[in-house]
């Protein structure tokens, strides 16, 4: 008896393989139909056709399965084919982890951002105000191991009467000062028309929160080959933020770093609410590096250390922070920028002085 069962089982195994072969062949034909339907713009699911197929099957059903069982078995097969067709219709987003499994590392010159590299620190004034001001900051931060200097030359100000930035002159200052101190220069671009100047003077183009969905700007910057720092919009969903990054990649620029800078909520104790889950999610959903801007998110000096720790704890690849020689007289964001003494304490308290010189995985183990 045992022997007969064994023989029958061997037959079952062979039949399983035959079934699998036929099912796979059927799936390929279904995929071909699906592609043609997609090209024609018609739906994959056709209930009339499905009923016809089921009827044809039950009419020739040789048993021993009942008609109901045959229907149910074939419905499962139809459904599996439909899933395949729908799957191949899905857009393969260039930013998605599903499309590219490994972490993207963005190089700003020789500075690597992302994956298992040491978390970077982008430090510098909110606005470039003068050569003296920028030089003082550059000298100070470079001595502490900072490699990326930020400084706005074109400022997106709420009030049109407030300081708008030095424009191209500011970019030129940024370039000169960065070259003197061996720093890379990060600055915000607001208008695609300024791209030639940014191409000449900046190392990394920042797209600010207020321009995150300026699609003309995104397309133009996407066509340049400069690394981009893309801030999350004031009220942008994570999807909108990632889609903005998609524009840049779609246009051909893969060197995109995302930057969470807080979103607008009902809270009044902070300028914005730092969304740490967005940092973690952006790391999970995309393969791009993610930074956290601790200055604009909290809008408070006393939150800079805890927000830095929080950002790095959820996997941020670096931090952006504003530093000014004399914040009290700064022409923008004078409530949030920190002076040199505070910056030194910040480095100490966050452990950044060590992180700047060590590999990230040695510090964090990831």
Which is nearer to Mn ion, 119 or 151 (by Cβ)?
Answer: 151
Minimum distance from residue 333 beta carbon to ligand PEP (Å): 8
Asked if omega into 64 is within 30° of 0 (cis), the reply is: yes
Which is nearer to ligand PEP, 243 or 263 (by Cβ)?
Answer: 263
The tokens of 117 are what?
């590299």
Minimum distance from residue 136 beta carbon to Mn ion (Å): 17
Which is nearer to Mn ion, 317 or 333 (by Cβ)?
Answer: 333
Q: Are strands 111-113 and 184-188 parallel, antiparallel or unpaired?
A: unpaired
Per CB under 6 A, 231 contacts ligand PEP: yes
According to CB under 6 A, which one of 296, 324, 355, 360 is a site residue for ligand PEP?
296
Minimum distance from residue 332 beta carbon to Mn ion (Å): 6
Task: To the nearest 10°, report the CA torsion of 167, 171, 177, 183.
Answer: 140
Binding site for Mn ion (CB under 5 A): 126, 333
Per CB under 6 A, 156 contacts ligand PEP: yes
The tokens of 284 are what?
């999970």
Give me the residues paired with residue 207 across strands.
Answer: 230
- State the Cα–Cα distance between residues 119 and 314, nearest whole angstrom: 12
Per CB under 6 A, 355 contacts ligand PEP: no
Which is nearer to Mn ion, 125 or 227 (by Cβ)?
Answer: 125
Minimum distance from residue 331 beta carbon to ligand PEP (Å): 12
CA angle 207, 98, 222 (to 5 degrees): 25
Range in contact with ligand PEP (rule: CB under 6 A) among 75-83, 92-100, 206-214, 358-366: 206-214
- State the Cα–Cα distance between residues 147 and 223, nearest whole angstrom: 26
Per CB under 6 A, 126 contacts ligand PEP: yes
Minimum distance from residue 237 beta carbon to ligand PEP (Å): 16
The tokens of 62 are what?
């040789």
Which is nearer to ligand PEP, 188 or 246 (by Cβ)?
Answer: 188
- How remote is the C-alpha of 162 from its chain's centroid? 32
Per CB under 6 A, 152 contacts ligand PEP: yes
Range in contact with ligand PEP (rule: CB under 6 A) among 72-80, 141-149, 192-200, 203-211: 203-211
Range in contact with ligand PEP (rule: CB under 6 A) among 64-72, 178-186, 202-210, 338-346: 202-210
Which is nearer to Mn ion, 156 or 182 (by Cβ)?
Answer: 156
Minimum distance from residue 127 beta carbon to ligand PEP (Å): 8
Per CB under 6 A, 261 contacts ligand PEP: yes
Which is nearer to ligand PEP, 188 or 194 (by Cβ)?
Answer: 188
Which is nearer to ligand PEP, 156 or 196 (by Cβ)?
Answer: 156
- State the Cα–Cα distance between residues 268 and 279, nearest whole angstrom: 22
- State the Cα–Cα distance between residues 147 and 144, nearest whole angstrom: 9
The tokens of 32 are what?
């071909």
Residue nearest to Mn ion (CB): 126
E strands of 92-147, at which residues?
106-108, 111-113, 120-124
Give me the residues paired with residue 106 across strands.
Answer: 113
> Counting every residue, how long is the chain?
366
According to CB under 6 A, which one of 108, 190, 209, 249 is a site residue for ligand PEP?
209
Q: How far is CA 178 from CA 21, 166, 170, 175, in A?
A: 64, 17, 12, 5
Asked if omega into 110 is within 30° of 0 (cis), the reply is: no
Residues that bind ligand PEP in the complex, under the rule CB under 6 A: 126, 152, 156, 188, 208-210, 231, 261, 293, 296
């Amino acid at each position: 008896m045992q022997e007969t069962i064994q023989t029958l089982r061997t037959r079952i195994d062979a039949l399983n393989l035959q079934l699998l072969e036929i099912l796979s062949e059927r799936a390929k034909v279904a995929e071909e139909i699906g592609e043609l339907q997609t090209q024609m713009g018609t739906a994959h699911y056709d209930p009339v056709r499905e009923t016809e197929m089921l009827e044809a099957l039950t009419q020739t059903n040789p048993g021993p399965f009942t008609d109901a069982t045959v229907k149910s078995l074939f419905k499962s097969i139809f459904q599996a084919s439909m899933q395949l067709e729908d799957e191949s219709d899905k857009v393969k987003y260039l930013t998605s982890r599903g499309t590219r499994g490994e972490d993207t590392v963005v190089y700003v010159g020789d500075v690597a951002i992302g994956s298992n590299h040491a978390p970077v620190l982008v430090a510098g004034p909110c606005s470039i105000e003068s050569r003296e001001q920028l030089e003082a900051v550059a000298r100070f931060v470079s001595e502490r191991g900072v490699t990326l200097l930020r400084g706005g030359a074109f400022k997106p100000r709420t009030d049109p009467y407030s300081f708008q930035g030095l424009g191209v002159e500011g970019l030129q200052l940024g370039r000169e000062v960065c070259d003197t101190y061996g720093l890379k220069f990060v600055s915000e671009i607001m208008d695609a028309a300024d791209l030639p100047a940014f191409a000449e003077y900046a190392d990394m183009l920042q797209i600010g929160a207020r321009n995150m969905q300026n699609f003309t700007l995104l397309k133009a910057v996407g066509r340049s080959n400069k690394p981009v720092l893309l801030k999350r919009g004031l009220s942008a969903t994570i999807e909108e933020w990632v889609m903005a990054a998609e524009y840049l990649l779609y246009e051909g620029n893969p060197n995109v770093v995302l930057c969470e800078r807080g979103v607008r909520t009902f809270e009044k104790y902070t300028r914005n609410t730092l969304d740490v889950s967005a940092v973690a999610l952006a790391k999970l959903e995309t393969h791009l590096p993610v930074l956290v801007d601790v200055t604009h998110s909290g809008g408070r000096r006393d939150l800079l250390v805890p927000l830095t720790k929080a950002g790095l704890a959820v996997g941020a690849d670096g931090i952006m922070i504003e530093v000014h020689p004399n914040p009290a007289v700064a022409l923008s964001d004078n409530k949030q920028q920190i002076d040199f003494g505070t910056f030194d304490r910040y480095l100490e308290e966050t452990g950044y002085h060590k992180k700047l010189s060590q590999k990230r995985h040695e510090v964090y183990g990831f």
